[in-house]
Amino acid sequence: MHELSIAESIVRVAGDHANGRRVTKVYVKVGHLRQVVPSALAFSFELVAQGTPVEGAKLALEEVPVTARCRSCGVESRLGAFPLLCNSCGSADLRIVEGEELMVESLEMEEA
């Protein structure tokens, strides 16, 4: 399950930044291309967080839409669905600008 390994890396990053404090909320940005199922990720996150400083924390997911620049015509398109094609000329030769990210944006923690 792909969400499980994503959850593991989120918990690891959040735990590293927590510095021993208890994390109450984790804000995560996830690109559309990651094809994350939010409910599956929330479930995995809860599971993986057990026994760590992140246990019981809420997961706030922000999905980042795909933006790509066309190598043929240079137009930047915002893309919602597969297949990914240039909005202007229909080319599939695209460079992804946004939509592949997976990062922990910020944390809410209890006061030390």
Sheet holding 102-109, edge to edge: 58-64, 23-31, 102-109
Nearer to Zn ion, 15 or 99 (CB): 99
**Which run of H or E residues covers position 56?**
none
Residue length of the chain: 112
- Residue 86 as a binder of Zn ion (CB under 5 A): the answer is yes
One-letter identity of residue 83: P
- Residue 97 as a binder of Zn ion (CB under 5 A): the answer is no
SS3 88: coil
Nearer to Zn ion, 87 or 106 (CB): 87
Give the interface segment with Zn ion, choosing from 4-12, 59-67, 81-89, 96-104 (CB under 5 A).
81-89
- Residue 72 as a binder of Zn ion (CB under 5 A): the answer is yes
Of 103, 101, 83, 102, the closest CA to residue 93 belongs to 83
Minimum distance of Zn ion from residue 31's CB (angstroms): 21
Rule CB under 5 A: choose which of 70, 79, 107, 109 binds Zn ion: 70
Contact footprint for Zn ion (CB under 5 A): 70, 72-73, 86, 88-89, 91
